[in-house]
Structure 1
Amino acid sequence: MSPSIPSRRNVLKGAAALSFAGAAGALLPDWALAQGQGASPVALAAAEGSRPEIAGQGNLALFNDSLPGPVLRVTKGSELQVQFANALKESVALTWQGVRMPAEAAIAASAAVAGGQNKLIRLTPKDAGTFWYHATSPALARRALSGALIVAEPGTPAYASDNLLFIQSFPPESGVPIFPVNGEFSPTFQGPASGRSRLRLVNATPLFLRLRLKGPAAYAIAIDGQPVAQPFELKDGRLQMPPGGRMDVAATIDDADATIIEVETAQEPIRLAVVTPVGPAGPMPSGPPAPLPANDLPADIPLKDAVRVELPIGGKSGATASLGTVKSGKAMVLTLANSLDAPVSVYVAGHAVRLLDSLDDGWKPWWHDTVPVPAKATVRVALLAQATGTWSVTAQRGGDGEVVASATYQVTA
């Protein structure tokens, strides 16, 4: 049975219930770790732990003995320093999914740390948005070595209510997945009555998720960390997220009843979280919200002379393939050909990509770093090469997260 849903009638009313002015950071979990200019490095430790109430018997690999790992926070343009200690017996390399940075910094930040060793990780994200970090090894990532990275926009937050929903999954003995959010079952968040709350959704599961927000109108404002130029309404509150994908949503909050976030399954929907209205009621906002500040991404991708390469998915597994080279300032079109009977999620490191239309060389209006490719289907994406260095492309099978194809592409000066 689902727990009862708190409503405005069951919470303290009035402005004194919660001051939303400047409260964006405060509404993130208590285990969020922020770093300001000149602050000491945040500590991140990987070690064995357990969460039998969620993940069943047996050990997990946890960051800071927390499920999920701590939320790392930094402001766009500021340096994040992380003192990473590996108390596991095996080496751990970290992936900073979606974070654009110079190749030298990316190599240093993702270098493996041997068991019993530690190192200082330094990175300065180029983009504001919702990102995440996890063990590069799929097996370790599935054992819970993952957490969110929030890169805040400089200045006053666009939304006073800012809630992170870090979604994980674990297979219980019944075989039906369970979906803790921020390490809890169906947690309750708060949003301004008759206002809007920013929901940062992170799919840290190996599953393709179909989500639904049951409440007033909700708008997509960012995909994979990159702001949407024109926020669009989610039809019936529904959205789909590939493994590793993120979406920021501006959810309109009722003045009386809670908004419910569910994952839709072949059976009954499973409640993920609840957003309860708090504070005085007023006129409801209408129409799409203002766009978030744009990151520094190209306005155009010239496809006429683009380098065109293909990544076969589902053939013989083995060593990482080379997709070739592209000069900085030139475009690359990457064809993702999936011959498997299962969908895959493809992570392109180093650059944000655009999905191309199937019949021509136009592109969809959103940026991605994590691209869904349906079973027995082909998807094309394009990027404008900017960051010199060698970057990875990794395809993981939906359902179990196994790597089914891996390759690199090189950007030269």
Structure 2
Amino acid sequence: MADSPAATTAPPKTPTSAPSKAEKLKLENKKLKQLVKMAKDRIEAQEKELKSQKEKLAAAQTNSSTSASSSSAQTGPEFVITKVLARTKIDKSSFVNPSTSLYTVAPTDPKEEEFHALFESGADVDPDEVPNPPLNKRYWASFTSNQQFTTYLSQNSLIGGGEPISVPAFCMGEDESEAVRREAADSLKFVTEEYRKYRVRSEVARKELEGRLRRGERREAEKTLAEESAAKQRALDSPQIKQSLEKKLEKMKNELAEQELQWKEAYDTLLKENEMLKSKGAEATLASQWRQRYEQTVRENEQLTTRLQMAEASAAGAMHNSNNQSFSSSSSTNYAQKYQQLRDEYSMYRKEAKKILESYKQKGGAPNSTPNGSGTTTNKIAYLKNVLTQYLATADPLVRNRMEPGIFMAMNLTEPEIAAVKAKKAAAAAEIGMLSPGGGWFS
């Protein structure tokens, strides 16, 4: 065969790189597919041609049962040879009938050997004169030499003006046809096996290539992460960054030290005022001051907590902030405990003050009253003085609203009088569009 599988180039076993190996495998796959297709097409063409020639031989046997001489006589002057359909050699030892011979092309020249030729003849008439000419006929003729065949063909074909008649090559015998068929089957089997091996090799190569790609991507990602980490470390180790972090750390330490002093001063002042108020026995004044201090302490605590969180978050990224963290955490913990103790103490004092006020209301008297009335007047004046001073000194509507119930209580205003004051206040606030919510500390 012209396209033998052995002639194809095998794929290289050791490719220089993964992409080149894949390309060579694709090229080999394409070549093998073309080879399989060519072998398949040739086998199908041979089978179709064999079937057609068998049909032609059978038809020739039906149309022609006489010898070559009688067939030649039957054509007469009105029939001429139009086509040579087939030629076959005769094996005198095994010849039975020319129709049993296969017709695949054989390159051998019979020379003086006897052979048969299948002719097709048609009537030599003018179609205009004969509307229904007779049908073409097919018949076999025997010859002993090529010269005899050529002479017969020239005598019984069109004379002048006709196209030259093509003479087909000799058909092969059964053994030769069987050999060709076996060769084609072996070639197809070989090509199929080679294609299967190629598929296996290409699949293995594809998996190896995918594994290499995955490993390469993983190594590339690890390399990128390592480079980024090294870049960050180099940035942190640079003198400019270190100097900036040290400045921030020093600034935060100073701020925390100042804040610690402020907390300590506020704590000491609060203790002194608490002791002073407790010694004087002015419960109402103490309650008002405690309320103001509590609100101020809550605001300061929120501000300091926010600043402390921001400072801790900023210092967490530094390389040398362990001392600062321990310092800030211990300081904030101590003052947070003190602040919680003050809140608890003030809460207990509130409860006691409410109980005292409720008990006096039930008895119909006023707090800190004495039998002669001097204690009531003195305490009331001191309380009013303190509350009014704070009331006039602040412009915060919420603080003033919380102080108003204490003023109403110290002035012994009745419920209608309190309602009238609140109504006038609401009307005045509505005129300027600044209506403030009401409500007192003990309400």
TM over 0.5: no
TM-score by length of 2: 0.19
Return the structure number with greater strand share: 1
Relative contact order (C-alpha < 8 Å, sep 6+): which is higher?
Answer: 1
Larger Rg: 2
TM-score by length of 1: 0.19
Return the structure number with greater helix share: 2
